[in-house]
Amino acid sequence: MQMKILWAAAAFFFGWFWAYLLLRQLLFNFVTAYPMIRRMNSLQEDLIAIGAKRYTAVSCIVCVILSAIVLFLLIRFFALYLQISFAVAAVIAFVMLLSRVSPKNRPMFDAFCNAYCRFVPDDELRTAMYNKKTGQINSRLKAMGITGTFIPEFKS
């Protein structure tokens, strides 16, 4: 009985780890990255390079393939109580991550800027995104003659 509890705890940890690595990345891609890229393209067509969409698509494909492999192995080789333990941890992690993955969350916006600054052709805008300085990003967009912004409002 003790070994079953230990294995269930290990499956719980593995489910949490899977959700944190792969599910969080998928959520980031669909809830933060794609909408931010779309907003940037709506402001100006060449504000961010086409490679940003490809980069995000590759990330999504890799996460889906790895998730499919993990879920196949889980369903095929794990006992039912281990599958339930894995699923409970994944659902808990999903619920906790769902509210934090929005681009209105400062750490997610910073993660977007850090990952996607390399796709911005303008040097000053790329530097401002790399440094995660929202004021500099806004001022550079105004200097470029772009009205509107893709930057959400953050509470001080």
Grade residue 72 by pLDDT with cuts at 50, 70 and 90.
very high
Chain segment 93-106, per-residue pLDDT in tens:
999 988 888 888 88
Handedness of CA 77, 80, 81, 86 (dihedral sign): positive
Q: Which two tokens stand for residue 145?
A: 């003659």
- Whole-number Å distance between alpha carbons of 122 and 22: 31
pLDDT for residue 112: 93
| Residue-level pLDDT at 141 | 87
Predicted model pTM: 0.85
State the Cα–Cα distance between residues 148 and 105, nearest whole angstrom: 19
115-137: average pLDDT: 91
For residues 121 and 33, give the distance between their C-alpha atoms in angstroms, rounded to a whole number.
17
CA distances from 48 to 39, 116, 122, 146, 150 (A): 10, 8, 9, 13, 12
- Output the pLDDT for position 156: 59
